[in-house]
Structure 1
Amino acid sequence: MLSQLIEKLPLLVQPGVTLNLEKSINTVQSLTHESERIQADLVRVLAGSDYVADQLGRKPQLFEDLLQNNDLYSVYGAGEYAQRLGQSLALVESEELLHSVLRKFRQREMVRIIWRDLTRATDMRGTTADLSALADASIDQALQWLYQDCCSKWGTPHAPAAEGASGKPQQLIVLGMGKLGAYELNLSSDIDLIFAYPEKGMTEGGRRVLANQDFFSRLGQKLIQALDNITADGFVFRTDMRLRPYGASGPLVCSFAAMEEYYQDQGRDWERYAMIKARVVGGDQQAGGDLLEMLRPFVYRKYIDFSAFDSLRSMKEMINKEVRRKGLHGNVKLGAGGIREVEFVAQAFQLIRGGRDPRLQQRELLNILPLLPETVGMPEQAVEDLTEAYTFLRNAEHVIQAVADRQTQELPVDEVGQARMAYSMGFENWSDFMLELDRQRGRVTEHFANVIAPAEEAAESDDLSSDWLLLWSNECDAAEGEAIFAEQGLDDPQQAWKAFSNLKSSRSVQVMQAVGHERLLAVLPQLMNEVAAVENAAETLERVLLLIQAIIRRSAYLVLLAENPDAMQQLVRLCSASAWFSETLAKQPVLLDELIDQRTLYAPPTKEELQSDLRQQLLRIPEEDEEQLMETLRYFKSAHALRVAASDITGVLPLMKVSDCLTWLAEAILEAVLEIAWRQLTEKHGVPQKTPGVPCDPDFIIVGYGKMGGIELSYGSDLDLVFIHDAEAGLYTEGKKPIANSVFFTRLGQKIIHILNTFTAGGQLYEVDMRLRPSGNSGLLVSSLKAFTDYQEKEAWTWEHQALVRARVITGSKALSQAFEQVRGNILSQSRELPDLTAEVVKMREKMRDHLGTSDKDKDAKFNLKQDRGGIVDIEFIVQFSVLAHAYQYDELIRFTDNIRIIDAMAATGVISADDAEILREGYKRYRAVGHRQVLQDRSTTIGSSELEDCRQDITRIWQSHLRVE
């Protein structure tokens, strides 16, 4: 039988290659009556694993047991390892027997796992998941047994007792790090563990009293012995504790407080890298979860942390030196293009962006890679290449380790080993295998270099760059500095030198740490080169250095710019065109991340995409965490406004589309804010009743007026809003803490304003103006639809009806929205006495002009785009007057709320001539375009009186003729 099996081995096509299978002869012969599949699989496994051959040769009953229970070809369910091991440990009464049972359990399961891996009964992820589950069960079951045993000797550890109460019992928490934490254990991996416990205290109820620290130290030592000691039955898992705080010199076990203090004060970059994969693998899961949440800020920074690249480069260079020193070029893990490089690519982006994108706060590498195209803009092909290569390399690693259950990733150098490996990997010969291995490693090396470029490449600089560094490091007086800037071609050397020297002498620079100063010098030359190339170089330098001043204490942002030359180029380009842009970035440097991916930077999303994106971001935040919800909304608004500005500045978007995008952004945010406020209030008070027994749905709307209603928002626009509900005032909410409907809706309005108006670290969402509600500031914050209707019909001034022309529902109840539109239509369609209407509109316009326009003494020199005669407000008043005067005849005039489409309707109905309509349209666009540019350059809406003079005269003529004003 053995000879027949050996004949089937393709390994023997090479002369002289033999396999020592003597220990498995009995097992092989017992398979005479078994299926051909099992015989063929046995050949493959025995060819690939001396460890399995040894186990089956010494314990034939083990193989029979695996076959009878169909364990070789079935998948274990969740918790099955723990259940099986728990049954085996149920009758264990001594540590010696505990050690023996653990090791025999491990031997059986390792035979099963290697069998399934080499025969491809499972894939690579199935193998790593099984190995990790085996380790989890071994750790936790051993810990439970040892904990009870230690408690019987020394008592149960407790937290300090509160006055009048006993302290809470405590357990050891075991954190699995590295591959164990990520469910990625390999066939012969050691396990990296960290031990912790919640609080200091003392044991209670034992023969001796110990401090919790002593108790858990002894328990930890026993657990390591149970797993790591080599006995006649071998070992369970080699256990490494060097990742704990202070490493091998630190205490074996730390309290939560000591852990937090260590990582906050002394945690190093490589420890952040390690902590990404940390997971509770034994002990109190809930307390362990609290510990990981406590340490999360250390791992994932709230800002975009490009300093991770430097840290990973340093780590990779250390590994490269070790590879060269030990000659590990054949190592599939540490060698060039190996497993570690794939891990670095994924974890670099986790460290950099994980704090802002919770999707990246995962442990398993193959869960992270598919997220990179969406989260960081990595090409889909790169992710496919890395995924395929990682799978291939991990399979090769398993084949290497299956041979002798030895912790190695080195390719075999002997002929037999090479033939065996090629066969186990599914190749005809070693040459074919190496060809594919080299191809896969080459792809990893290429993508690794694209993400984490060698530091020496990043540091290359030309002669001009060194000139800038000399200017920074040398002491120059103003004359010398200005002369250098003049030589470099800056348009205003005096202004440029002043900005440069102010930064150089600033307190922030003077107190910079060495690493921050190095990062600044890495950015400065390229930044100055980019600035010198734009037309308004001195002005741009002033703006860019304003940003540098803002980020200098958070030097990770400097690394971001150094690592992304394209982002630096975009920064200079956009700051050159817009002071608003530079000021926005200085206030929120976290937005620098938006400059990296030009695919999104110059492609503002549609309204539907905005709604979907915001919904997905908010879903990742606990509903009760209002602070984080508010910060997410603010970042979302700022990031998308920045994208719109980038497209605007570069001409990708025309003015009208800019306003559309900014209005859609506000609409998406208002929808989300209403949903958040409604949920928070209804959870506390229940849902208000529309009528007795009928809950509101929510029977509440947010109405936008002014620029919001007219779809004409600009950067920094406030929101003119009105809140309306449609529920009976005398009813109450249905909840544990019921309140009157009127109180509920008032609080709802207050909550919405609070979320929008409040200044946080991320700034303010929008400034909200509620003065257009019925009775203005003296009126109710939220009106019923009936009260709103009564006010508009009986009390509203003409200017309030003018404002209604641009009113539209932004979000809320569909039924109430329709009812509001009906009320709006009825009010605007009333027949009005034309002389009276004209007089009131003209009177209001003159009043505004007197209070807000250019003073008489400056009229010959200045022109206020909005308020002066022939300006924007004149156009708006012409439109509003036309609607109020003629909507009773033409309902087309009230169909839309934006000025351009109303002007179109005025021309279509004959209210105004086609020529005058064209003048109003084009004049309105010209004024808004100029005003828009003024805002981006941080300038007022007042320009020189000679500008746009033709436009002013035409609009003044139309005003006078249309309103019959002399």
Structure 2
Amino acid sequence: MTAPGRRSSTFTRLLRHGFTDASAAERRLDSPELALVRDDPVLLEALGATADPDLALDGLVRLLEAQPAPAARRELLDTVIAAKPLRDRLLGVLGASAALGEHLARHAGDWQALVTYEPRDLHPGVEEFERGLAGADDPVALRVAYRRCLLSIAARDVCGTTGIAETAAELADLATATLRAALRIAGEEAPEDAARCRLAVIAMGKCGGHELNYVSDVDVIFVGESAEEDGDETEALRAATRLAARMMRICSETTVEGSIWPVDANLRPEGRNGPLVRTLSSHLAYYQRWAKTWEFQALLKARPVAGDAELGAAYVEALSPLVWQAAERDNFVADVQKMRRRVVANIPVAEVERELKLGPGGLRDVEFAVQLLQLVHGRADPSLRSGTTLDALQALAAGGYVGRADAGRLDEAYRFLRFMEHRIQLYRLRRTHLLPEDDAGLRRLGRSLGLRADPVAELTREWKRHTGVVRRLHEKLFYRPLLDAVAQLAPGEARLSTEAARERLVALGYADPAAALRHLEALASGVTRKAAIQRTLLPVLLGWFADSADPDAGLLNFRKVSDALGKTPWYLRLLRDEGAAAENLARVLSAGRLAPDLLMRAPEAVALLGDGGGGLGPRGRAQLEQEILAAVGRAESAEQGVTAARGVRRRELFRTAAADIVGSYGTEAQPAETDQGPLVDQVGGAVSDLTAATLAGTLRAVVRGGWGDTLPTRFAVIGMGRFGGHELGYGSDADVLFVHEPREGADEREAADAANRVVAEMRRLLQLPSADPPLLIDAGLRPEGKSGPLVRTLTSYAAYYRRWSLVWESQALLRAEPVAGDEELGRRFVELADPLRYPAAGLDEDAVREIRRLKARMESERLPRGADPKLHTKLGPGGLSDVEWTVQLLQMRHGAEVAGLRTTRTRQALAAARTAGLVTEEDAAVLDEAWVLATRVRNAVMLVRGRAGDTFPTEPRELAAVGRYLGYGPGHVGDMLDAYRRTARRARTVMETLFYGT
């Protein structure tokens, strides 16, 4: 036993050397196995230099215990103490890898594999590893030999003899040798199969790219042919499939020595549903006709590694041209970026902050960015065609495709993250990319990376720094060189050629790359503060423009806004400093014509896009009306008053459109699962309130201009149709009725004349030529239609409705709601309308038949010639008309007894009908979904085209922009149209049951 005083001294030294459990370490050192060397300072120093001294000491004791005899134990100890290279290698491995420590304890003589320290041993290749595996003739022996080879790789790694790139390449070479050995064993087990076929194994992924991890699936593709020129191809493929499957099992199966790694063939054509082995011609046919963008991206790393070398080389030669044509595919960049977003979205929320590989700022961000650039520019520049990420990044920097400084920072970050990944996997030899959660694991990881002062804190700080670098660079990597190419601020720096810049812009979806380069030059050239800020903003903005259906329009509109506001001090500061402003502006400028056109008329409205200052939240009708009436009150004439009202309307339409666009630009490819009803209601309510406030301002301007403060008659505007229902779209006309009532003592003829002059002047002023979206007021729903007077007294309305009104006029009154003018008169008009629209006795059968007849007649007569009925959002099957007439029939039949039905709003009435049991929950949901979708399509058409429309655009870019608004990413326009038809078809079925009773 050790004396207490000496024990205390040893305890202190152990703590100083980095042991965390000094008491246990002291007991280990007192064990018989270490009796001869427990006080040797060299040993303690060497243990203290490892990632985990406790783990290293424990592994050393277990290794000594496993030696077959005392002499072997003494030989091991003497060698460890005397030979520094072996000491560092052995203890370094034991301190970094519990799994390799367990292997050494099971195979006590394998430590001898670490003795050799010759120059030829520093960077072994496939042939050296093949020699190391040569004696392995069965799966168990292959695993033991594989781990023995892995020992030497890990030793060079932890001692710093090799860097991360060399270590990854050695691991890939060892995997190559292992695949060859496994195929050899499989062939020896089934010599007839081996003789019947030619089989080539193509490495993919990190193995193919010579950058493998310690523990990773080894991705492969198999190519097979008959061994004889005229042999039976079917039989040859069956034999090749049996060999390939056996080879995979030899590597993947768990034995008493564990497994090596899974061999994954799911990157093959058709994935796991496709045949395991195909002929070269079959592979070629698939990639020519059916392959998706990501499959060509995967082929970047394809490399023949085992089996028939000639066939493997022929495979790569045949498919390589297709890889370098991939960037010419429609939506190429969008497809690649969408795949990246999908990967991130699938990470469990609890793991995102610990994910080294797939999380934001992780390894995959670097790899995807590099591969994207390779595919775009590798067509014309063969120097970029490396399957190894760091080599490709260096080539991109050398060619000016990536800025050298950015490339250097990415290289450093990527190496650091790969070091972390390797050390995490080496510990247990398990496939993981997650940072440890426990302090012990973080401490071991930090020390393995050379962080010794405060390993946990230093590791966390460095990891966050590097992921932050990647996060900032991986997107702008694609765009920054475009600015360098036009700004020309660093003459000695390699930069994109004009042709390469155009290639990149075309890949991003720009139809006119020459114009885009001119815009970039105008925005970013020069040494002014404005140009410097633009060079900071544009890499991010270009990415958002590229995410739209019309990047050209986004960039052009941004230049126009910047030209208009370039000298305004707050403009660029807003975009630079407020997180949401720049992205919101990019989305708005590239989503269509309406919002940019509104913004060009009032560029200062950019301020609404920021985080503060009111932002994009809708303003209430009272607030809008107050502002417009105040502006009208300051005007010197009615024309100036209406111009002021139009100015407010323009700004508020932009606010509403921008909020709509920003709210709609969200998750792709899941639109049916997203309830857009609230957004539709917000748009409808905001546009309707704005229209009402504008009419109130126009009315005030007309009265002030002709009569001063008071008309000789009370006057009110009644909203009808979608206006009265708070459901106006951007391009909707405002359906109205005008009502007046002479003031007490006023001459009725004079009052009527004043009312008619008010209506005429309101219509004239609102129709004055203007670049603003038109506000057309339509009084076609008045009694007697176009043949009747534009304005009536309340008494006249009452007399007409009592004697002459038809059922359609009662139906039209369902949406009647006062919107401007005399509030008391408006309220009395509603009281007049209620008995007509909600008859106490409901509807008799004659009235129901008449409504049905009118609906059928409207469908047959009003649908535009040549329009596809199935895609017409208003009059087509399952469109707005179907839903609204169904709801309105329920309102007229049951409104008298069901209070909830007494509303002008379609969705509220439908919800009330469902609550009252008049419609099943399922049917109500179908109708509601169809109504919301049709309304969104109409809003989208107006936003995209700048003019109203009831059906989908036919121009491809406009159709794609509508799809993007509705949540369908690039290439999914067909899915959008199919979804609309499907939704409308279901609504039509429900409508026919509820409305026609069929």
Task: Output the TM-score relative to the length of structure 1.
Answer: 0.44
